[in-house]
Amino acid sequence: MKYALPLAVMVMMFSAGIGVAGGGVATLSEFGFLIEQVKKNTGEVYVIDLRDRAAYLSGTVPGAVHVGPSPDGYIGDGRGGAVLVIADGDTSADILEAWHDRLVTFGHDPIYFLEGGFASWVNHDGPVKSPVDTSAVPGKFPFIIPRGLCEMNTPAKVYP
Amino acid sequence: MKWGTWLAAALSGLIWNSALAGEGVQSSCEGCHIEAAAAFGRSAMSRAASTSTFLAEWKHKGEDKACLACHAPSGGAGVQCRDCHVGSDHPFSKLDVPNVCASCHDAPGELTVRSFLRSEALKDGYGCLDCHTESRGGDVHDITGPSRAEFLTRVGRLRVSVATGPQGDVAVVSISHSAGHALPGGTSGRAVWLVVEGLDDVGVAVWRALTRFGWEYASDGGWTDKTLKPNRTAIVEIGDLHRAGARKLRTSLVYQFTAGEYDAPEAVHEQMDQVEISFPSTKP
């Protein structure tokens, strides 16, 4: 594990009322819970990745969306719920605190931070996937919309 | 046994034997299995060869009889009892699910059952009928699916974030679903569309980005499976959100029953989920 979340950050989070039971720094047992939720893709935990674009593209938690390092300008959909924050192990306490405050604004609760960052997720055998495998691009590639199973060999329409 | 009772039993046997021989299968089943027949009669499967969607496609194809192999194997308006309850001796054995479903729902161009066999739903012990039947009093013949009102609203879920990147604001849309198989199920003409629209101050769409999930065909690459896989979140990123004076983002997940384009006049849609986000007034 290349990084352990600074004790000062952990104290800050617990004092802010986001202890283990309601999110905060994920404990060993919560790693298991989070991994299970991600594997089953239950939709119960929203996963955001703060790392740089290259790190995100090279592999992240399945289903994670890339929101970049800064919480400034971040807008959530207001649906709240649990959120798992993926960050580098050396992300500053100030940044994590700012993200916490921003996510609370959009109703997220609990908010999970991984002690040790993404490397810790990997060390706990959490699943990792390239987001490229699951991403789609709107209307970019010309393709033919099939007319149906019975026309498998004679598609009728070119898109877009 | 009284004469009347004996006669009735004999006649019902004659009817049954006649039914097994061919015509009248459905009516012979209904004679005894009243509730099951009524329940199945409510299902879209019982009308698989008579819906307007099917008839339009079938006409387009030149009314190819091959289509009826699944839509009406025994003729009539749709699937009938003996199309699934196979065997020669009555009472028939319990259905071999999902294999019996696979005969049509794993046809070329469809991977519903195949994708189910690789899903977490199967590992968790779920079967087709756990989601695809409206069980009343233990009867499981009311087969349900996307054509049933509100069925789809329980299936698809959108999450949307707007983040600021080097090229400006980007909407990151994640799509997850609870179906235990690829979405859309059914034949290759169906689709799930992600429709992202930029709205102006009065809610009028000033731009739109469409993403289609389903089967695609490229002239140089053949058929490609672009369905939404079970237990996997699909992610779509869209930039330049503020173009054309957009002040709000409306994101919709839409199921399309009919083949062809999203805007086709004959398109039949059902909304699965929708999310709206307003941009801060300080944004350009």
pLDDT score, position A148: 53
Per-residue pLDDT of chain B (284 residues; tens, 9 = 90+): 444 444 444 444 433 443 443 445 556 899 999 999 999 999 999 999 999 888 988 887 788 888 888 899 999 999 999 999 988 788 888 888 988 888 888 765 677 888 898 898 999 999 999 999 987 777 889 999 998 888 999 899 999 999 987 788 999 999 999 999 999 987 767 899 999 999 999 999 999 999 999 887 766 666 778 889 998 999 999 999 999 999 999 999 999 988 788 998 888 999 999 999 998 754 43
**ipTM greater than 0.85:** no
Q: Which domains does chain B have, with CATH numbers?
A: 33-131 (no CATH), 152-278 (2.60.40.10)
Structure tokens belonging to residue B162: 């707007």
pLDDT at position A87 over 60:
yes
pLDDT score, position B25: 53
Distance CA A11, CA A93 (A): 11
Whether A147 sits inside 8 A of B260 (CB atoms) is yes
Q: Which of residues 9-28 of A touch B (CB under 8 A)?
A: none
Q: How close B42 comes to chain A (CA, Å)?
A: 24
Q: How close B277 comes to chain A (CA, Å)?
A: 6
Render pLDDT for A30-85 as a digit per residue (tens, 0 to 9). Answer: 888 899 989 888 788 999 999 999 999 999 999 999 999 999 989 999 999 999 99
pLDDT at position A97 over 80:
yes
Q: How close A81 comes to chain B (CA, Å)?
A: 11
Q: Give me the residue from B110, B218, B275 closest to A143, CB to CB.
A: B218
Q: Which domains does chain A have, with CATH numbers?
A: 7-159 (3.40.250.10)
- Cβ-Cβ contacts under 8 Å, B163 against chain A: 66-68, 73-75
Q: Which residue of B has its CA nearest to A136?
A: B236
Whether A150 sits inside 8 A of B66 (CB atoms) is yes
Q: Give me the residue from B209, B217, B218 closest to A139, CB to CB.
A: B209
Torsion, Cα of B34, B37, B39, B40 (10° steps): 170
Torsion, Cα of B20, B22, B26, B28 (10° steps): -50
pLDDT score, position A142: 54
- Cβ-Cβ contacts under 8 Å, A151 against chain B: 57, 60-61, 189, 259
Asked if A132 has any chain B CB less than 8 Å from its own CB, the reply is no
Whether B232 sits inside 8 A of A46 (CB atoms) is no
